[in-house]
Structure 1
């Protein structure tokens, strides 16, 4: 599963690198890469998430407490198995 905003771009080979990370770590639920923030009139800024470990529960806890670098839209690939049990309501209200 890969989320991308309409104004985002994926660098050439970016998805391949994320997929290859899954091949190296088949039990991972998410592969996270760096992102480049582009703002008119300013130099590009590379943002690399760091501090994540192999414990999914601890990563989630620390992420929700803002103790880990945020994951930018378009810089993560989520394994199908990690979201297989998630369902959204079919109706609102």
Structure 2
């Protein structure tokens, strides 16, 4: 696998995280398209923020070796990024709507 493919798989896990939370908790959902967009950005944000700890795609493929443990960590963090992105954005929207009126 290459770093780019690992990044795409990571983004897919973020999308899966946001859409699964939106499916389970309907009140947090922005619809399938909204959840997908939030999942992409949540996943990318969390991986870019915490990936420097050693589980970014290029560390996974360091010296042409595939590190399976780092890949699993990357996928879990991406999934959590999608979840957290959806939760945080929904809380922001609710806060804005409550302050209006």
TM > 0.5 between the two? no
Scaled by the length of structure 2, the TM-score of the pair is: 0.31
- The normalised TM-score by structure 1 is 0.33
When you count strand as a share of all residues, which structure comes out higher?
Answer: 1
